[in-house]
Structure 1
Amino acid sequence: MRKNRIFRQTAGSDCKADPGVFQPSVDAHRCEGKGDCAVVCPFDVFVIGRMPDQQFSQLPMLAKLKVWAHGRKTAFTPNAEACRACGACVSACPEHAIKLVRVRQSTKP
């Protein structure tokens, strides 16, 4: 991880949505498991882990080579429903592998 790009927002600052309205989507073809997303996320949405064999086997050949070269590490979102759409993960990812996807409508008026 490049320390000069790392920052951690205060929980709740610059958050644009209620929890669960948006969820991060990680592109397995691009993610190198560097972990910047996990460091900057104020809601602990991300963990870095080893890509399971089944998911790895379904990747195209070039993506397999890239994932293998980085130790099969990738970002997972076990706490995706806690996302508040602050965008810190999107900004921190050097591979541009994360986007925020709306999964439901906000309950705010």
Structure 2
Amino acid sequence: MIAGKDAGCKQPPGVLAPRIDATRCEGKADCVVVCPYDVFVVRKLDASERRALPLVARLKVWVHGGEQGFVVNPNQCHGCGLCVAACPEKAISLTRLVAEMG
């Protein structure tokens, strides 16, 4: 479904980056599949990451196999929004990293 690395990209890399809401992410990896720039990984949370979550989110993580999505290459993001659209939990948003020069 990805039409090419630059199709639909709204920004050069390093302007926007995805942010994952850890209280919503269920680790389904849709973001990993659709991202043409290898911005995401899904992996098991370590003990300190689990403890940092609120109780309800910890239970949700446990039910879903202890995995969540992580942004590992934020500077590779081109702002295409494929990850935002693909996330079934609506756990991903795009945030500006740098102000545009104008």
TM range (shorter): over 0.9
CA 1:101/1:54 → structure 2, altered by over 3 Å: closer, same or farther?
A: same
What is the total number of aligned residue pairs between the two structures?
102
Residue-by-residue CA offset, 1:21-42 (whole Å, 9 max, x unaligned): 0000001110001000010001
Supply the RMSD in Å over aligned alpha carbons: 1.2
**What does residue 10 of structure 1 align with?**
4
For residue 75 of structure 2, what is the aligned residue in structure 1? 81
Q: Equivalents in 1 of 2:89, 2:35: separation in Å?
A: 16
The letter for the 2-side match of 1:49 is R
CA-CA distance at 1:16 after TM superposition: 0.4
The gaps in structure 2 that reach 5 residues or longer are: none
Q: What residue is the counterpart of 2:66 in the other structure?
A: 72
In structure 2, C-alpha distance between the alignment counterparts of 1:20 and 1:53, rounded to whole Å: 31
Match of 1:91 in 2: 85
Gaps of 5+ in 1: 1-6
Match of 2:38 among 22, 37, 44: 44
Between 1:50-59 and 1:88-97, the stretch displaced more is 50-59
Superposition deviation, residue 95 in structure 1: 0.2
Secondary structure in structure 1 of the residue aligned to 2:6: coil
Task: Tell me which stretches of 4 or more aligned residues in structure 1 moved more than 2 Å.
Answer: none
TM score, norm. by length of structure 2: 0.94
Deviation at 1:9, TM superposition (A): 3.8
> What secondary structure, in the 3-state scheme, does the structure 1 residue paired with 2:49 have?
helix
Go from structure 1 to structure 2 and tell me whether the alpha carbon gap of 1:32 and 1:9 turns closer, same or farther (over 3 Å shift).
farther
Query: Alpha-carbon deviations, 1:27-69, whole Å to 9, x = none?
Result: 1110001000010001111111011211110111111100110
